[in-house]
Structure 1
Amino acid sequence: MQLVFATNNLNKLKEVQSLIPIHVQLLSLKDIGCFEDVPETQLTIEGNAVQKAEYIKEHYGFDCFADDTGLEVEALNGEPGVFSARYAGDQRNADDNTNKLLKNLENQSNRKAQFKTVIALHLNGKLETFTGFCKGNITSERHGVGGFGYDPVFKAEGYNQTFAEITLDEKNSIGHRGKAVNKLISFLKSIQD
């Protein structure tokens, strides 16, 4: 089975490739000649995931899946949420986004947050969605050099280290994207049987 993962984010691609079963050949946007920005204009995480999957199916004809992820911070009424990648502006700079988040939380004692990933799968003319959550807290400063995005300031519940301090395998086992991908994998296995 061939599936396109509709992302240009090499970190996401690496995370997901480590989870997908061998019988699924994962193609990137580069592999199918898609070099334009895939639209993400919806106001929800789910909406963006579906929009990206439908765009690839419509314009390139491939069965595919797309994800969208947001960090939802309780004290900020769910911000940055769907705007996580562009929280500090259209330049999509992870350091700028993290700086803005830490600044907005400076005087907040409530540091509760969750990552949310939604994967939209466009397969055989049908659309399925899979959601994964990871609850935790935002630290007051960065820790670790691994991961990407907000990983250096996010500690999952029950962990003393940020996502940037744990291994990729650990992150995949407890993280939002790993949980959503595992639901996707279970679905793919169920239709193979």
Structure 2
Amino acid sequence: MLLAPYGFEVVLPKDLGISFSPEETETTFTGNSFIKSKELYRLTGIPSFADDSGISVPALGGEPGVYSARFGGPGLSDKERANFLLKKLGTNKDRRAYYSCVVSYVDKNQEVSFEGRVDGLIAEDYDEEGKFGFGYDPIFIYPPFDKRFSQIPESEKNTVSHRKKAMELFLDWLQKQN
């Protein structure tokens, strides 16, 4: 586990017998991440971290943003949500997009957060061939690789992902706490 070198054991709520699904009511990734990490800390008294992530498209005013998992309405599949985004973006020439991930940490003395971001472009169609990734990966083009995230093996994608960047910042900070 990533935190083992720092002398920490990571336990999940289910490992502690805790049912955990707080409602994400904030309008930012940071806010939703803190809802989760603060609630975990409140329930356990154990230093806690959590994350929130999604995709944002500037031409759509930042949508879907924190609503990435429920964009387009309830009950849609990942593919239906991605196609909804494509339809909403239409022929707009501004295809910029970015994935964001915020990791927040809470203990008795502090509350801190760390954000990772990866920039790319929204394709004009849905990738039916790519076998990697999930969610919006079939429509997210990563220019440095000149491929969609759905065409990049997870091990390679994880070297540049928004989650990796946020976790690296968190781990760097955590290492300095010891």
Query: Does the CA-based 8 Å contact 2:118-2:162 persist in structure 1?
Result: yes
The answer for the alignment partner of 2:65 in structure 1 is 81
The answer for the alignment partner of 1:175 in structure 2 is 161
The answer for the alignment partner of 1:93 in structure 2 is 77
SS in 2 for 1:83: helix
* Identity between Structure 1 and Structure 2 (%): 33
**CA offsets per residue over residues 102-143 of structure 1, 9 Å max, x none?**
111222121110111111111343111001111100112233
Which runs of no fewer than 5 residues in structure 2 stay unpaired?
Answer: none
**CA offsets per residue over residues 78-121 of structure 1, 9 Å max, x none?**
11011111112233632221121111122212111011111111
**CA offsets per residue over residues 42-94 of structure 1, 9 Å max, x none?**
11111101111111111232221111112110211111011111112233632
**Do the aligned partners of residues 33 and 88 (structure 1) sit closer, same or farther apart at CA in structure 2, a change above 3 Å counting?**
farther
Partners of 1:26 and 1:97 lie apart in 2 by 32
Shift of residue 159 of structure 1?
Answer: 1.9
Partners of 1:150 and 1:189 lie apart in 2 by 33
The answer for the alignment partner of 1:161 in structure 2 is 147
SS in 1 for 2:31: helix
**Do the aligned partners of residues 92 and 43 (structure 1) sit closer, same or farther apart at CA in structure 2, a change above 3 Å counting?**
farther
SS in 2 for 1:136: strand
Shift of residue 160 of structure 1?
Answer: 1.5
TM-score (norm 1): 0.82
Partners of 1:32 and 1:156 lie apart in 2 by 38
Query: Does the CA-based 8 Å contact 2:83-2:126 persist in structure 1?
Result: no
TM-score (norm 2): 0.89
| Count of residue correspondences | 174
Residue number among 32, 38, 49 corresponding to 1:54 in the alignment? 38
**CA offsets per residue over residues 23-55 of structure 1, 9 Å max, x none?**
332222322223342221111111101111111
